[in-house]
């Protein structure tokens, strides 16, 4: 168990656009116990040390996707990263990389949302079915083909990890490509052709340089790198089929 009276130093990159010309670092000393997450450390700061620190959070259990941030330079969910891992050295937290900072630890995520909305992230049924006809049949094996990719919580850690997105934010990026693949791989869906136009575009899968760091940081084992790769294969097939069709 925890020793009584342990204190950890949390260095926070602050940015308040109404007063700071550029981001500044602020150090907080936070008493902690071994079961406390980084998020709980930040909550302690807000409640007891400095009410002006802003960050997003809600569920505390790694499912709402709100609390992603850079922790000692790595994209992580602060709710399931624990302070004890950084003791006694302390830790540094910053807003997610590759996004503009709106304030403190709050990243501007409009770009991600626009991309998500752009890929038709909904079922485009292969065949229509009325409610009275009941559900589409889908075997556990068919479910397995896309289930993993449907588990993305939109936390955007993979975007903060993606060097390509960091260089050029036009790249659709790992999370949204995984979502696109989730629908393409769904046995009920017939929207693949519409979505593949986006995949084949320069900002689609071909921007990916196959670093794979996105999958490493994914807190939900969605493996977006795999989704991107599978779509490279699909996209290549599309490319060659075009020649076949022409003949």
Partner 1 sequence: MLEVFKADVVIVGAGGAGLRAAIAVAEADPSLTVALVSKVYPMRSHTVAAEGGAAAVTQTHDSLEHHFNDTVTGGDWLCEQDVVEYFVAHAHEEMVQMEHWGCPWSRREDGHANVRAFGGMKIERTWFAADKTGFHMLHTLFQTSIKYPSIKRFDEHFCVDLLVEDGRAQGVVTIEIASGEFRLIRARAVIIATGGAGRVFRENTNGGIVTGDGMALAYRHGVPLRDMEFVQYHPTCMPRTGLLFTEACRGEGGFLVNKDGYRYLQDYGLGPAEPVPRNKAMELGPRDRLSQAFWHEKKKGRTIDGPLGPVVHLDLRHLGERKLRERLPQIYELAVEFLGVDPSLAPIPVVPAVHYTMGGILADGRTASPLPGLYSVGECSSVGIHGANRLGSNSLTELLVFGKVAGVEAAAYAHTVTNSSSDVLERQADAACQRALGIVNRQGGSERIAVLRDEMARSMESGCGIYRTEADMQATCDKIGELKARYLNLRVDDHSKVWNTEWLLAIELGYQLDVAQAMVHSAIHRKESRGSHQRLDGFEQRDDVNFLKHSLATYAGDTAPRVSLSAVKITKSQPGTRAYGAAGEKAESQRKLEGSAHV
Q: Which residues bind partner 1 (CB under 8 A)?
A: 1, 16-19, 35, 46-48, 50-52, 54-66, 80, 102-104, 106, 108-109, 113, 116-117, 121-123, 125, 129, 131, 134-140, 142-143, 146-147, 150-151, 153-154, 179, 183, 186, 188-189
Among the listed residues 113, 121, 125, the one whose alpha carbon sits nearest the alpha carbon of residue 181: 121
Q: Minimum distance between the CB of residue 206 and partner 1, rounded to whole angstroms?
A: 25
Q: Minimum distance between the CB of residue 84 and partner 1, rounded to whole angstroms?
A: 11
Q: Minimum distance between the CB of residue 245 and partner 1, rounded to whole angstroms?
A: 30
Q: How many degrees, rounded to 5, is the angle at CA 173 between CA 23 and CA 151?
A: 105
Q: Report how far apart the first and last C-alpha atoms of the chain are (Å, whole number).
A: 72
Measured from the CB atom, the residue of 118 and 197 that comes closer to partner 1 is 118
Q: Minimum distance between the CB of residue 95 and partner 1, rounded to whole angstroms?
A: 11
Among the listed residues 208, 200, 202, the one whose alpha carbon sits nearest the alpha carbon of residue 228: 208
Q: Minimum distance between the CB of residue 106 and partner 1, rounded to whole angstroms?
A: 5
Q: Minimum distance between the CB of residue 210 and partner 1, rounded to whole angstroms?
A: 27
Measured from the CB atom, the residue of 204 and 219 that comes closer to partner 1 is 219
Per-residue exposure over 93-103, b if at least 16 CB sit within 10 Å of its own CB, e if not: bbbbbbbebbb
| Cis preceding linkage at 246, omega within 30 | no
Check if the beta carbon of residue 56 is closer than 8 Å to that of residue 67.
yes
Q: Minimum distance between the CB of residue 64 and partner 1, rounded to whole angstroms?
A: 5
Measured from the CB atom, the residue of 128 and 247 that comes closer to partner 1 is 128
CA distance 162 to 174: 8
Measured from the CB atom, the residue of 129 and 242 that comes closer to partner 1 is 129
Measured from the CB atom, the residue of 107 and 164 that comes closer to partner 1 is 107
Q: How many degrees, rounded to 5, is the angle at CA 163 between CA 161 and CA 167?
A: 130
Measured from the CB atom, the residue of 63 and 201 that comes closer to partner 1 is 63
Measured from the CB atom, the residue of 35 and 168 that comes closer to partner 1 is 35
Check if the beta carbon of residue 98 is closer than 8 Å to that of residue 167.
no
CA distance 128 to 111: 33
């Amino acid at each position: 168990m925890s020793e009584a009276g342990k204190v950890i130093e949390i260095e926070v990159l602050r940015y308040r656009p109404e007063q700071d010309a550029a981001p500044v670092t602020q150090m907080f000393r936070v008493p902690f116990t071994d079961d406390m997450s980084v998020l709980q450390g930040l909550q302690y700061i807000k409640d007891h040390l400095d009410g002006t620190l802003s960050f997003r959070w809600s569920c505390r259990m790694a499912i709402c996707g709100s609390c992603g941030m850079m922790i000692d330079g790595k994209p992580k969910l602060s709710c399931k990263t624990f302070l004890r891992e950084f003791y006694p050295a302390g830790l540094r937290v910053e807003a997610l990389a590759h996004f503009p900072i709106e304030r403190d630890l709050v990243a501007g995520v409009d770009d991600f949302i626009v991309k998500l909305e752009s890929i038709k992230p909904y079922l485009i049924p292969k065949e229509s079915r009325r409610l009275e006809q009941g559900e589409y049949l889908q075997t556990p094996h068919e479910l397995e083909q896309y289930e993993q990719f449907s588990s993305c919580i939109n936390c955007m850690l993979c975007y903060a990890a993606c060097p390509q997105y960091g260089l050029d934010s036009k790249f659709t990026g790992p999370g949204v490509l995984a979502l696109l693949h989730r629908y393409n791989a769904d046995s009920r869906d017939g929207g693949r052709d519409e979505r593949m136009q986006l995949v084949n575009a320069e900002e689609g899968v071909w921007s990916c340089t196959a670093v794979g760091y996105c999958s490493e940081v994914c807190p939900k084992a969605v493996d977006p790198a795999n989704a991107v790769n599978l779509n490279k294969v699909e996209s290549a097939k599309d490319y060659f089929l075009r020649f076949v069709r022409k003949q």
